[in-house]
Chains A and B, each alone.
Chain A
């Protein structure tokens, strides 16, 4: 995402939320996101909040935060979350562990975090519990233990089936490994498996992309996410592009690859239910991600994690050492927050729900937005039948121009 400074107001030391935001919590679906800020190496394209072991060492060589003790830190924040949210009944319907590389933690550590969530809040019986996994960090044994520790869904960072593409992305795994991981996950008893793909990597050809799509489909996951490569400022990739070593991804080629993904995946029985997400059947859709797109409540645990509860968004301090220090002092690790007003919430609803296959209701739009919606129908960007039913639903071409449509509608 192009860099936009995130400003906000300070979060109180005890993490207390505005009354209006806490009211009704528990009556809406509630999720927990756990960020694991560790990686073995940093990939050249990645601008996520993650650190290698070396980056976490202070000048005297002492580790300031470590993956060995990380589960306990996360559990400390889960306790804090419970305090902040009060004594109301909150059943957690989804948990998502992302990173970083969550699978640098043992399945047992990941299990302890989940247990803490269950203990403090209560996990719904059919809760969706996902973790991201890097293919090179797991094997059948790991996945079996993960499943045994209560995880129900696993998402593998496949990215590409081509060696040269993986190299540009600095991915450590070899082609074929992600597909093998899907098979192991099935063997370990996971019903829901996702593969993440990236298109538009410098050097990737249309043929490479088709091969990646084919390989992903043949591996037989029930969910595929496909993202265009974004050259983020400050990454090694951006530096290489700037120096002219690598070509900047071409926007038209990205559009073509997206269309190729849609064709290949829909032909294989996947349905695009959000701009970048395809699932085989509604049960395969990520319920956790749906919270993000429908204004649901979730608590983000971990350094740099974002949370949203009842119209208040906040985010934690980014560095694991600062994060650990805050929790050790019994303070909220929240760095800043924004309390959304009605208009901002409406704006967010439009831009988020517009990304979904069911779209957003036209009654959310003001007069100018409705006029813009009618124009977008005429321009082939919104679906005319859905529009007639009172919903703004992007067409395939509209999906590629989703932000432009959102700017018109808001």
Chain B
């Protein structure tokens, strides 16, 4: 069996699995662990590699891992297979690309009852861009609803192979897995690199561990990376000492070092993943490489939202929690923010919607916080007539005065759907200011549609709409694609003439009216009547575009107040006074906190269950 540290690259196969959520990636990984004997059958549990609770519950993988599997192939040679797991969502495109860059091959795993999904297709294209060997595999062939012939046809059409090349397996029963591993050894090329050159290893993941500090997952490209060595992070020139080098199989095991093509982890004692960034190149601190490995990018938050504790006294807890999450999440950014309506909170930047949602869920679950989040916002570049330029991640930063041009981020979206839903999808994309770039039939009844869409339109309940219009059958993947000039305006919501910052939004001019009408109606319903009439207005600058009135309350007095009523009446008034204290004042208007929560949460309720199909 090849021992880590100086494995002959010819015996190494580095690969990943490209699959949609629920298409069986974790189950396939489980079977590989069992078949190669790294996990004994009796210690097996489902989805062995997925560590976080949230991951297991939602069936998604947030953080990737790499596991070394010894496998004796048909030629009786024992190979070291390194399974590099990839994060499974659209928000983590960059992380996926780094995982792919660590591999020479990829298993394209598709549910034989459902066919390929948009996100899988996008990742497949990325894998093809990285020149990876692709092994098309249909999973769940044991299902009665499986249509292996049909989807083999589809896969063959997409990657340009023969339908008979498509492997058919059942990760659940283990059927076809051994054959798959043999094919893998055959088809995936061994890694190449310069064993005598200066060390170069690419970071494809970085995880914070309470006890060990940051655990950095690397793929060695050139040279050798040993423990107790000074190393340098090439992007920042920061140097550290490797306290430990190891491999995972499936538990962490120390090794003296890692050679060309090997995959493992290093521990340097740093406490913050931002010091060990995905995509960065590690080299020796002395006599190190001159050039970084290609493809490094700083993490770029794309979506912003204000997070506020519902109980204001939780603010310090929220701050600590965000700081702790950041140790493990280089892409999470935040800064303190104050809202007149919501109090003290943080403006947080995320890679995308899922990243935002996961972060919020973890804050609520792991830190026992009750949070309210403002509507998600993208980054706008606002150019003024006087040449000033503003970067706006929050409607409150939207400048007053003569605006020349506003640039908004756009994405390239890939939608896959049964052909019958093409109409509804086109309608939705059109309504979301999308422009159709192309459309292909993957098979007789499955269509791939490519759109350019403003990111802002996607972060606003797009997934939900897509799901409901296609009975859940369509899938979407997107990647950033620069920016475009758009006619955008900021719509303010005013209560009795006072702006309510939490409800301001930047929207396209054509949609401003609809947003204004919707918000004013909603608030009229949610805000209790006051002693005076309260106009609820939506305005662009000083121009009112929608208006509702909350009529003045006319009766707020108990009719009967006799001997037996007094204690209860006193208690009732005391309780009402308590509620009044908790309410936020917008000018003279008392707005109960629940009104803010419902007004803001109805919008994001859309994303809640879109991922887990």
Q: Which of the segments B103-111, B338-346, B555-563, B599-607 contacts the partner chain?
A: B555-563
Q: Which of the segments B46-54, B84-92, B195-203, B575-583 contacts the partner chain?
A: B575-583
Contact of B566 with A348 in the complex, beta carbons under 8 Å: yes
> Shortest Cβ distance from B104 into chain A, in angstroms?
67
Across-interface contacts of B172 in A (CB, < 8 A):
none
Contact of A293 with B561 in the complex, beta carbons under 8 Å: yes
Across-interface contacts of B286 in A (CB, < 8 A):
none
Within 8 A of B (CB), among A280-311: 289, 291-293, 298, 300, 304-308
Partner pick for B572 among A4, A254, A313, CB 8 A cutoff: A4
A1 with B576, Cβ < 8 A, contacts A254-B555, A305-B564 known: no
Contact of A400 with B556 in the complex, beta carbons under 8 Å: yes
Contact of B531 with A347 in the complex, beta carbons under 8 Å: no
Across-interface contacts of B554 in A (CB, < 8 A):
251-252, 255, 400-401
Interface check A233, CB cutoff 8 A: no
> Shortest Cβ distance from A229 into chain B, in angstroms?
9
Partner pick for B531 among A255, A355, A381, A406, CB 8 A cutoff: A381
> Shortest Cβ distance from B313 into chain A, in angstroms?
23
Within 8 A of B (CB), among A370-393: 379, 381
> Shortest Cβ distance from A95 into chain B, in angstroms?
13
Within 8 A of B (CB), among A24-57: 33
Interface check B390, CB cutoff 8 A: no
Contact of B570 with A1 in the complex, beta carbons under 8 Å: no
Contact mask B531-567 → A, CB, 8 Å, 1/0? 1100000000000000000010111111111111111
Interface check A139, CB cutoff 8 A: no
Interface check B568, CB cutoff 8 A: yes
Interface check B571, CB cutoff 8 A: yes
Closest residue of chain B to A7, judged by CB? B571
Contact of A1 with B531 in the complex, beta carbons under 8 Å: no
A403 with B556, Cβ < 8 A, contacts A1-B565, A305-B564, A381-B531 known: yes
Contact of B559 with A401 in the complex, beta carbons under 8 Å: no
Contact of A255 with B555 in the complex, beta carbons under 8 Å: yes
> Shortest Cβ distance from B402 into chain A, in angstroms?
41
Contact of A1 with B555 in the complex, beta carbons under 8 Å: no
Interface check A219, CB cutoff 8 A: no
Q: How far is the CA of A406 from the CA of B574 in the complex (A)?
A: 10
Interface check A231, CB cutoff 8 A: no
Across-interface contacts of A228 in B (CB, < 8 A):
555, 559
Interface check A102, CB cutoff 8 A: no
Interface range on chain B (Cβ under 8 Å from partner):
20 to 34
Contact of B563 with A403 in the complex, beta carbons under 8 Å: no
Interface check B573, CB cutoff 8 A: yes
Residue from B560, B567, B572 whose CB has the most chain A CB atoms within 10 Å: B567
A351 with B563, Cβ < 8 A, contacts A275-B557, A407-B577, A410-B577 known: no
Contact of B577 with A300 in the complex, beta carbons under 8 Å: no
Contact of A2 with B573 in the complex, beta carbons under 8 Å: no
Interface check A344, CB cutoff 8 A: yes
Contact of B568 with A6 in the complex, beta carbons under 8 Å: yes
Closest residue of chain A to B561, judged by CB? A355
Contact of B558 with A1 in the complex, beta carbons under 8 Å: yes
A407 with B561, Cβ < 8 A, contacts A251-B554, A255-B554, A381-B531 known: no
A298 with B563, Cβ < 8 A, contacts A251-B554, A401-B556, A410-B577 known: yes
> Shortest Cβ distance from A7 into chain B, in angstroms?
9
A348 with B570, Cβ < 8 A, contacts A4-B575, A407-B576 known: yes
Q: How far is the CA of A338 from the CA of B568 in the complex (A)?
A: 12
Q: How far is the CA of A230 from the CA of B558 in the complex (A)?
A: 9
Interface check B569, CB cutoff 8 A: yes
Q: How far is the CA of A4 from the CA of B573 in the complex (A)?
A: 10
Interface check A147, CB cutoff 8 A: no
Q: How far is the CA of A338 from the CA of B554 in the complex (A)?
A: 33
Contact of B570 with A347 in the complex, beta carbons under 8 Å: yes
Interface check A273, CB cutoff 8 A: no
Contact of B567 with A351 in the complex, beta carbons under 8 Å: no
A306 with B564, Cβ < 8 A, contacts A1-B569, A1-B572, A251-B554 known: yes
Contact of B559 with A227 in the complex, beta carbons under 8 Å: yes
Closest residue of chain B to A347, judged by CB? B570
Across-interface contacts of A251 in B (CB, < 8 A):
553-555
Number of interface residues of A (CB under 8 A): 47
Q: How far is the CA of A357 from the CA of B86 in the complex (A)?
A: 76
Q: How far is the CA of A306 from the CA of B567 in the complex (A)?
A: 9
Interface check A359, CB cutoff 8 A: no
Across-interface contacts of B580 in A (CB, < 8 A):
407
Across-interface contacts of B569 in A (CB, < 8 A):
1, 351
A289 with B570, Cβ < 8 A, contacts A379-B532, A381-B531, A400-B554 known: no
Across-interface contacts of B556 in A (CB, < 8 A):
400-404
Closest residue of chain B to A315, judged by CB? B564
Closest residue of chain A to B577, judged by CB? A407
Partner pick for A401 among B557, B563, B564, CB 8 A cutoff: B557
Q: How far is the CA of A344 from the CA of B569 in the complex (A)?
A: 12
Closest residue of chain B to A313, judged by CB? B567
Contact of B560 with A227 in the complex, beta carbons under 8 Å: yes
Residue from B561, B563, B577 whose CB has the most chain A CB atoms within 10 Å: B563
Interface check A117, CB cutoff 8 A: no
> Shortest Cβ distance from A94 into chain B, in angstroms?
11
Within 8 A of B (CB), among A335-366: 338, 344, 347-348, 351-352, 355
Across-interface contacts of B574 in A (CB, < 8 A):
347
Across-interface contacts of B565 in A (CB, < 8 A):
1
Partner pick for A292 among B558, B566, B572, B573, CB 8 A cutoff: B566
Q: How far is the CA of A9 from the CA of B560 in the complex (A)?
A: 25
Contact of B567 with A300 in the complex, beta carbons under 8 Å: no
Contact of A275 with B561 in the complex, beta carbons under 8 Å: yes
Q: Which 4 A-B pairs have the closest CB atoms?
A: A255-B554, A402-B557, A306-B564, A227-B559
> Shortest Cβ distance from B568 into chain A, in angstroms?
5
A6 with B563, Cβ < 8 A, contacts A251-B555, A258-B555 known: no
Residue from A8, A255, A305, A351 whose CB has the most chain B CB atoms within 10 Å: A351
> Shortest Cβ distance from B124 into chain A, in angstroms?
55
> Shortest Cβ distance from A355 into chain B, in angstroms?
6
Contact mask B93-123 → A, CB, 8 Å, 1/0? 0000000000000000000000000000000
Across-interface contacts of A306 in B (CB, < 8 A):
563-564, 566-567
Interface check A399, CB cutoff 8 A: yes
Contact of B561 with A410 in the complex, beta carbons under 8 Å: no
Interface check A276, CB cutoff 8 A: yes
> Shortest Cβ distance from B143 into chain A, in angstroms?
47
Q: How far is the CA of A374 from the CA of B160 in the complex (A)?
A: 83
Q: How far is the CA of A4 from the CA of B570 in the complex (A)?
A: 10
Q: How far is the CA of A227 from the CA of B575 in the complex (A)?
A: 23
Contact of A292 with B563 in the complex, beta carbons under 8 Å: yes
A300 with B576, Cβ < 8 A, contacts A275-B557, A399-B557, A401-B531 known: no
Within 8 A of A (CB), among B363-377: none
Contact of A406 with B573 in the complex, beta carbons under 8 Å: yes
Contacts A252-B554, A292-B563, A401-B554 known; list 18 others, CB within 8 Å. Answer: A1-B560, A1-B568, A6-B567, A289-B562, A292-B562, A306-B567, A308-B563, A315-B564, A351-B573, A379-B532, A399-B557, A401-B553, A401-B556, A403-B557, A403-B573, A404-B553, A406-B573, A410-B573
Q: How far is the CA of A42 from the CA of B569 in the complex (A)?
A: 24
Q: How far is the CA of A259 from the CA of B571 in the complex (A)?
A: 28
Closest residue of chain B to A401, judged by CB? B556
Across-interface contacts of B557 in A (CB, < 8 A):
275, 399-404
Contact of B571 with A4 in the complex, beta carbons under 8 Å: yes
Across-interface contacts of B568 in A (CB, < 8 A):
1, 4, 6
Contact of A400 with B567 in the complex, beta carbons under 8 Å: no
Across-interface contacts of B571 in A (CB, < 8 A):
4, 6
Across-interface contacts of A292 in B (CB, < 8 A):
561-563, 566
Q: How far is the CA of A289 from the CA of B556 in the complex (A)?
A: 22
Across-interface contacts of A381 in B (CB, < 8 A):
531
Contact mask A1-29 → B, CB, 8 Å, 1/0? 11010101000000000000000000000
Contact of A304 with B564 in the complex, beta carbons under 8 Å: yes
Across-interface contacts of A352 in B (CB, < 8 A):
561, 566
| Interface CB pairs A-B, < 8 A, 30 | A4-B571, A8-B567, A33-B563, A227-B559, A228-B559, A251-B554, A255-B554, A276-B560, A276-B561, A291-B563, A292-B562, A293-B561, A300-B563, A304-B564, A305-B563, A306-B564, A313-B566, A347-B573, A351-B570, A400-B556, A400-B557, A401-B556, A402-B557, A402-B558, A403-B557, A403-B558, A403-B573, A404-B557, A407-B576, A410-B573
